[in-house]
Amino acid sequence: MIKDIESLRFGYETDLFRIITAQLGNTPLLAHTRAKNLLDIRRTDLLGEAVRITADLLPEIHETYQSCLDILGHGFSGELFVRQSMEYNASVFAHEKKFDVLVHSALLNDFTPDELAFVFGHELGHVLFEHSRFCVFDILSNPEGVSRDTADILFRWSRASEVSADRVGLLCCGKLSTAVTALFKTASGLAGIDMDQMLRSFRRQYEDLEKQLREASDDLSWVRTHPMIPIRFKALELAALDIVALRQQSGGFSGKGFRAIDQQIAGILEAIDINAVCTRIQ
Question: In the bound complex, what is the minimum distance in angstroms from residue 92's beta carbon to Zn ion?
Answer: 8
| Sequence-distant (≥ 6) Cβ neighbours of residue 149 within 8 angstroms | 23
User: Quick check: helix, strand or coil at residue 96?
Assistant: coil
The nearer residue to Zn ion, 35 or 163, going by C-beta atoms, is 163
CB nearer to Zn ion: pick between 120 and 253: 120
Nearer to Zn ion, 214 or 226 (CB): 226
Instruction: For the segment 263-282, give every residue that binds Zn ion (CB under 5 A).
Output: none
Q: How far apart are CA 172 and CA 214, in angstroms?
A: 33
Nearer CB in complex with Zn ion: 55/178: 178
| Contact criterion met (CB below 8 Å) for 206 and 224 | no
Count, residues near Zn ion per rule CB under 5 A? 2
Contact partners, residue 201, CB within 8 Å, separation at least 6: 184, 193
Site for Zn ion in 35-94 (CB under 5 A): none
Nearest distance in Å: CB 278, Zn ion: 26
**Kind of pairing between the strands at 77-83 and 98-104:** parallel
Q: What angle do CA 257, 261, 267 make, to 5 degrees?
A: 145
Q: State which of positions 144-173 bind Zn ion (CB under 5 A).
A: 162, 165
| Closest separation in Å from C-beta 126 to Zn ion | 6
State the minimum distance, in angstroms, from the CB of residue 265 to Zn ion: 16
**Cβ at position 185, least distance to Zn ion in Å:** 16
User: Which of residues 90 and 271 has its CB atom nearest to Zn ion in the complex?
Assistant: 90
- H/E run at residue 64: helix 59-72
For the chain, give the longest Cα–Cα distance.
Answer: 55
Tell me if residue 91 falls in helix, strand or coil: strand
CB of 244 to Zn ion, least distance (A): 21
Residue span 100-139 as binding mask against Zn ion, x where in contact by CB under 5 A, dash where not? ----------------------------------------
Q: What is the nearest approach in angstroms of Zn ion to the Cβ of residue 91?
A: 8
Minimum gap (Å) between residue 162 Cβ and Zn ion: 5
| Pick 123 or 242: Cβ nearer Zn ion | 123
Question: DSSP string covering 164-226, please?
Answer: HHHHHHHHHH--HHHHHHHHHHHHH---S--HHHHHHHHHHHHHHHHHHHHH--SPPS---SS
One character per residue 201-220, x = contact with Zn ion (rule: CB under 5 A): --------------------
**Residue among 162 and 242 whose Cβ is closer to Zn ion:** 162
**55's torsion region: left (phi>0), alpha (psi -120 to 50) or beta?**
alpha
Element holding 274 (H helix, E strand): helix 255-276
Residue number, 123 or 262, with CB nearest to Zn ion: 123
Q: Give me the residues that bind Zn ion (CB under 5 A), please.
A: 162, 165
